[in-house]
A and B are shown apart, each in its own frame.
Chain A
Amino acid sequence: MLKILKYSFYDLIRSRWSYVYFLFYLALGFVLLFLNNDVSKAVITLMNVIIVLIPLIGTIFGVMYYYNSREFTELLLAQPINRRAIFMGQYFGVAGSLTLSLVLGLGIPFVLYGLLRSNAIFDFTLLLVTGAFLTFIFVGLSFVIAISNENKIKGFGYAVLLWLFLAVVYDGLFLMSLIVFEEYPLDTFSLVATALNPIDLSRILILLKLDISALLGYTGAIFKKFFGTDLGFLVSMAILLLWTILPILGLSLKAKRKDF
């Protein structure tokens, strides 16, 4: 698997898009820091951008990479290599190089700005960690979608729909259900509903770490009570981890049964 990972990684590192992605974060980091002059505020703005953008890029990159390397995959399948190793190698290659772009792209401006000496380092680390989780989750989901659909257009469509659902529609439905059922106690419901969507979960996690949950009113208080504690934090991380593992398991199961 490591050899496949190595080649996928090299292949992506040399691709133009990895650089565009990297440069985008680099520019974003510099602009935010030097226009804002406040690391905490920069982290919040970054969070708003990242939380939507990372899943989108992860989804699109994952689907594109899978379909573009289909011929190569077939070449590899005839070689004495374990099937699972081929797909796992490609998956970690894509997710790894995207994560590297993110960490380096944002890390360089922040380090230059003097992050290491500021208090925001934990917030910033959390931002990068959730960003990495989101990358792995959405690349995994998009690989599962791509391997299940021979038709490129269909696969691409489903992947973008999934992103749209989790990033936009889910929140809408969530809010609507809160309004419709406002007569009822919704504490547990909103906690569970948030935990089930990796994008929402990441957002809440970062917001709570930034100690601005007071802005969220009553809901914020509930969230703070649960996610703000060490236990809540651990549970959230466990859920993110679960979100990462499930697509990987799905991918290896699909890969085992598929005909090429």
Chain B
Amino acid sequence: MTIHIENLHKKFGKNQVLKGVDLTITEGHIYAILGPNGSGKTTLIKSILGMVIPDKGQISILDRPIKKDWKYRKHINYLPQIANFPPNIKVRELIHMITDLRNSPSAKKELIERFGLEPFLNKKLSTLSGGTKQKVNIVLTFMFNSPLIILDEPTTGLDPRALIYLKELIQKEKAQGKTILITSHIMQFVQEMADEILYLLEGEIYFKGSIAKLLEDTQQKNFEHAIAAITTTKSHA
């Protein structure tokens, strides 16, 4: 299995964000992590990445515990939610820098062409629009070949064409047997991409299963309504 989480707790001050998350994620699927604002989605992702240090519980990635380790991040590509880059460097330099830091082969050229970023390569990041920054973000995420890909709100600011490329890209990675975690508030995107839904509510996994199971459990016909109705029905994963 790709990720195994046991009894994960995290508190920020008085705010208990994660209250005992247990989760197993197997390889080769696309998982959508859903939940209302403040339900702990980003905290869960950041715990997996080691950016947030859990108070209690265990996380293993590719069968190895991640505590006090950092080398495991070699196996993860992460797309952060808000593409905030250092403002004073050029797109080309940023891409070069990350390639240099990771020290692994990258498929940057193809991705840059795909998202039409060539005209922006020599521009400073502070001059780019939100959507273009997100494209740079996507290139940085997908240019390495890692078994685990984590995408936090990947669709933000993308134009329809880039969105289609992104979907193709995700499907292509999945076809290569990679595990992909996505958080998104765009239900249509989730419905199209995800094999499994993880619904977080108040720091716990409230529902885990396929879209078909979700529709059945909530007795709704429409996915968006099923997500909205999920908290009112008593079904537990």
Contact = CB atoms under 8 A, between A and B. Distances in A.
Is the pairing of A and B real? yes
Interface of A: 3-4, 7, 11, 14-15, 69, 71-72, 74-83, 257-260
Interface string B76-109: 1010100011101100000001101110000000
B88 A11 contact: yes
Contacts of B53: 257-259
Given A15-B88, A75-B85, A80-B102, A260 B51 contact: yes
A14 B88 contact: yes
A78 B73 contact: yes
Interface in B40-59: 46, 49-53
B101 A79 contact: yes
A79 B86 contact: no
A258 B80 CA distance: 18
Given A74-B51, A80-B73, A257-B53, A11 B86 contact: yes
B84 A80 contact: no
B89 A11 contact: yes
Given A14-B88, A71-B85, A78 B101 contact: no
Given A80-B73, A83-B70, A3 B101 contact: yes
Q: Which of B51, B71, B98 has the most CB of A within 10 A?
A: B51
B86 to A, nearest CB: 4
Q: Which of B53, B85, B102 has the most CB of A within 10 A?
A: B53
A78 to B, nearest CB: 4
Contact of A260 (B46, B74, B76, B78): B46
A156 to B, nearest CB: 19
Given A15-B88, A72-B86, A259 B74 contact: no
B49 A77 contact: yes
**Chain B binding site: helix, strand, loop or mixed by DSSP?**
mixed
A149 to B, nearest CB: 14
10 contacts: A7-B97, A11-B88, A14-B88, A72-B85, A77-B50, A78-B49, A78-B51, A78-B76, A80-B70, A259-B51
A258 B102 CA distance: 23
The 7 closest A-B pairs by CB, nearest first: A71-B84, A80-B73, A80-B74, A72-B86, A78-B78, A259-B52, A260-B51
A225 to B, nearest CB: 50
Contacts of A7: 97
A79 B51 CA distance: 10
B16 to A, nearest CB: 14
Contacts of A258: 53
B61 to A, nearest CB: 12
Contacts of B84: 71, 74
A76 B102 CA distance: 10
Nearest to B98: A79
Nearest to A69: B86
A78 B102 contact: no
B156 to A, nearest CB: 15
Nearest to A73: B86
Nearest to B43: A259
Contacts of B50: 77
Contacts of B86: 11, 69, 71-72
A77 B70 CA distance: 9
B46 to A, nearest CB: 7
A120 B129 CA distance: 56
Contacts of A83: 70
A75 B80 contact: yes
Contact of B101 (A14, A71, A81, A260): A81
A258 B76 CA distance: 21
